[in-house]
């Protein structure tokens, strides 16, 4: 008598146990591709937000004499630097993700690539969070001291840049969670993804 399978299909008695292994391998590969596609999407979103934050901060200066510029504030320079670094990192990681999706293998040796992704996602997410926190503090101080009344556009653009940077942090933090899941699967099972 046929035995029921997970999806409700029936397995004929003539089919041996060795026939299920390719199916399970295919399912795991499909799940791995979906996970990689989700990581790629999150890194693309982090790239877009970080790049936009860097552009907003870099263009945040007035041509008139005596008007504030991001160059006058070390915290805003940190916001620009952190967002620029994260956008370059996300661009590299997007290329590595596309390579992995298309070729089915990691750019670096698999354990190195998994630990590289996990550790760098965390480091750059924390760096971005620290930069945006300092940028928020300076923007609030400028608003509290009345400096934003004279240069309203400068403060609004600084707020937009910081908000975009927080968005980049959120997407990079989600990517770090999925990278951590991949590392945990590798440590436990010895493969990139196994459910």
Per the structure, the complete domain to which residue 35 belongs is given by 27-56+71-189
In a domain, 66, yes or no: no
In-domain check, residue 31: yes
Count of domains observed in the chain: 1
Residue 7 covered by a domain: no
Instruction: Render pLDDT for 162-191 as a digit per residue (tens, 0 to 9).
Output: 899 999 999 999 999 999 888 888 888 776
Q: Is residue 62 part of a domain?
A: no
Helix (H, G, I), strand (E, B) or coil at 3: strand
The tokens for 128 are: 């971005």
Share of the chain above pLDDT 90, in %: 34
**Res 20 pLDDT > 50:** no
Indicate the SS3 state at residue 69. strand
- Residue 14 inside a domain? The answer is no
User: Is residue 182 a part of any domain in this protein?
Assistant: yes
- Euclidean distance between CA atoms 142 and 153, whole angstroms: 12
d(CA 146, CA 140): 10
Domain for residue 122, yes or no? yes
Indicate whether 63 belongs to any domain: no
pLDDT-derived band at 142 (thresholds 50, 70, 90) equals: confident
With beta carbons less than 8 A apart as the criterion, state whether 39 and 173 touch.
no
User: CB neighbours (10 Å) of residue 55?
Assistant: 16
């Amino acid at each position: 008598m046929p035995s029921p399978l997970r999806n409700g299909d029936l397995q004929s008695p003539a089919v041996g146990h060795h026939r299920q292994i390719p199916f399970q391998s295919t399912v795991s590969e499909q799940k791995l591709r979906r996970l990689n596609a989700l990581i790629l999407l999150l890194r693309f979103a982090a790239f877009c937000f970080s790049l936009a934050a860097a552009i907003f901060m870099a263009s945040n200066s007035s041509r008139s004499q005596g008007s504030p510029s991001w160059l006058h504030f070390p915290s805003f320079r940190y916001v620009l630097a952190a967002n620029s670094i994260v956008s370059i990192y996300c661009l590299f990681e997007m290329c590595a993700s596309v390579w992995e999706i298309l070729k089915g293998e990691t750019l670096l040796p698999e354990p190195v690539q998994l630990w590289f992704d996990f550790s760098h996602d965390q480091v750059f997410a924390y760096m971005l969070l620290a930069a945006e926190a300092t940028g928020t503090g300076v923007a609030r101080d400028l608003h509290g001291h009345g400096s934003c009344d004279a240069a309203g556009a400068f403060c609004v653009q600084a707020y937009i840049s910081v908000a975009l940077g927080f968005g980049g942090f959120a997407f990079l933090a989600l990517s770090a969670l999925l990278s951590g899941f991949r590392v945990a699967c590798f440590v436990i099972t010895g493969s990139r993804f196994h459910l």
